[in-house]
């Protein structure tokens, strides 16, 4: 399942964007 990795990457990207 790569969904967890995608979610983690998304959160990290969001945090970096803020």
1-18 pLDDT tens trace: 578 999 999 999 999 988
Q: Is 7 exposed, middle or buried (0-12, 13-18, 19+ CB in 10 A)?
A: exposed
- State the Rg of the chain over Cα: 8
- How far apart, in whole angstroms, are the C-alpha atoms of residue 12 and residue 18? 10
Task: State residue 15's pLDDT score.
Answer: 96
Structure tokens belonging to residue 3: 């969904």
Task: State residue 7's pLDDT score.
Answer: 92
Question: Which helix (H) or strand (E) is 9 found in, with range?
Answer: helix 3-17
């Amino acid at each position: 399942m790569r969904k967890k990795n995608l979610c983690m990457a998304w959160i990290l990207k969001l945090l970096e964007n803020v």
